[in-house]
Structure 1
């Protein structure tokens, strides 16, 4: 039987992600609620990097909510492109988080798939920061995150979450397309 907390987390997070692809500020408060519930869900199945990730999402969702509304001299931040320097920093950050946190989890906990779980964490941090800053390139990073997440969650029996991340994969492609159109307009 599917856990009601997992179902509620999935519903709220799905709403948040659909709203993000549509460039809606309401992505943030719905995401906050989903994060709280997913933290409980992931803790129960020993995906500790994902628990940590939910805490990060919670903090950045509060920041994103404000930033999207008033982040540029009191005006909403426009969609823009990621610079080469930002990409370099993002790749380094994702690599350090994946290796360092994966090693830590492997050595000190009973974590399941610590390096894959940590890769989801590291890449999600990058994607979320890009989303917070309204960078177009958040979407291809989310495509990669979702590609890794589906088999990870399925391997832990989180079938609803795995199915939703497969749908999120499609939504990330849609978001990428939609934001490119909005940026050109």
Structure 2
């Protein structure tokens, strides 16, 4: 554990808690946290997770814009995705996991390339769903967190592992809160 790991985790914790609370401030805090995590994961040879941070930085900007485009300045509503879209996204997640995992396995010294690629693929899906305020985002994050906790612990990133365990609890909280908001709307 280093001071840098603690700071990176702190910033990402703030961003994720803000997402579950449906706060637009999740996005700018996310940019800062992603830059720090990118550096941390690269140093731990978790290249898929480092690459993922670049994607997150770009989507934070788009998510911020999307979330503020509701009716008359109000936040966009939380909604569900159709079964067809979810099937397409899940199939794409599996294909990306296998393809990127294979590339990392063959061409790098990556640690656990297929688990790392699963975290990448389903984090991308989760982020895309989050940007659109789709309730299914939280199921993606639950899957990612279940895989990430032992993966990060196995690399000695114990603070990050504990954070992802907290993210798991936060994802359950976010799912329940967003369901409640959908029922109210």
With normalisation by structure 1, the TM-score equals 0.96
Cα deviation, residue 184, structure 1:
1.0
**Structure 1 residue 52 and structure 2 residue 39: aligned?**
no
User: Paired residue for 1:163?
Assistant: 162
Per-residue CA distance 1:31-86 (angstroms, 9 max, x = gap): 11000000000000100000111011111111001110126786532100011122
Give me the whole-angstrom Cα distance separating, in 2, the residues matched to 1:158 and 1:118.
17
Residue 34 (structure 2) aligns with: 35
SS in 1 for 2:58: helix
CA distance in 2, matches of 1:75, 1:100: 40
How many residues of Structure 1 are paired with residues of Structure 2 in the alignment? 184
Alignment of 1:30-179 (within 5 A): 30-70=29-69, 76-179=75-178
Q: Which runs of 5+ in 2 are unaligned?
A: none
SS in 1 for 2:22: coil
- Counterparts of 2:71 and 2:115, CA distance in 1: 36
Deviations 1:6-38 (A, max 9, x none): 111100110001000000000000011000000
Distance 1:128 1:7, change over 3 A: same
Task: Flag as ranges the 4+ runs of structure 1 deviating above 4 A.
Answer: 71-75
Helix, strand or coil for the counterpart of 1:70?
Answer: coil
Task: Give the deviation of 1:166 after TM superposition.
Answer: 0.4
SS in structure 1 opposite 2:156?
coil
- On the 8 A contact 2:70/2:77 being kept in 1, the answer is no
Moved more, 142-151 or 62-71: 62-71
Q: Would the alpha carbon gap of residues 71 and 61 (structure 1) be closer, same or farther in structure 2, given more than 3 Å must change?
A: farther
Secondary structure, counterpart of 2:68 in structure 1: helix
2:127 and 2:182 mapped to 1: Cα distance? 19
C-alpha displacement of 1:4: 2.0
Structure 2 counterpart SS, 1:32:
helix
- Runs of 5+ in structure 1 lacking a partner? none
Give me the whole-angstrom Cα distance separating, in 1, the residues matched to 2:5 and 2:15: 15
**RMSD value, Cα:** 1.3
Indicate how the Cα distance of structure 1 residues 101 and 73 shifts in structure 2: closer, same or farther if over 3 A, else same: farther
